[in-house]
Amino acid sequence: MAELGLTFPPAAGEDGAPGPPGAPGVGVADITKKVLVRTGGCVERDTPIDIIIPGAGWTTAGEEVTFANASEFTSTAQVFLNGILMFTGENAATDNDVYFVAASGQIAFETNIDRNDMIQVWKFGATASG
């Protein structure tokens, strides 16, 4: 199985030198990423998937990603299915590609998730301004 790797340039401080994220003057978003790969059978559409602890039939990598509510999910998340950006929604009624189910870390897709499908959930934090 191929491994996905992401590289980001180092954040810069006020003087332009590399610095830690969140340092004064840094205009870089704090991004939390979680990757799930389906190793079991098909997950039917509209079935909640726990992105924190998905259970059997999943391989995971990355950090814990949580959302306090549907509004936070739609405003701070980007969800990719096999590298394709999905349109996020607040609930099943919005009829979007992927939607928020519960603050415990559950989302659901409007399509089936098949074996070897890869889900990436990116949560963007606030950016610091200089």
CA dihedral angle for residue 67, residue 38, residue 119, residue 111, rounded to 10 degrees:
-90
Contact 31, 114 (CB under 8 A): no
8-38: per-residue pLDDT in tens? 444 444 444 455 555 554 455 699 999 999 9
**pLDDT at position 72, please?**
95
52-102: per-residue pLDDT in tens? 999 999 999 999 999 999 999 999 999 999 999 999 999 999 999 999 999
55-66: per-residue pLDDT in tens? 999 999 999 999
pTM of the model: 0.76
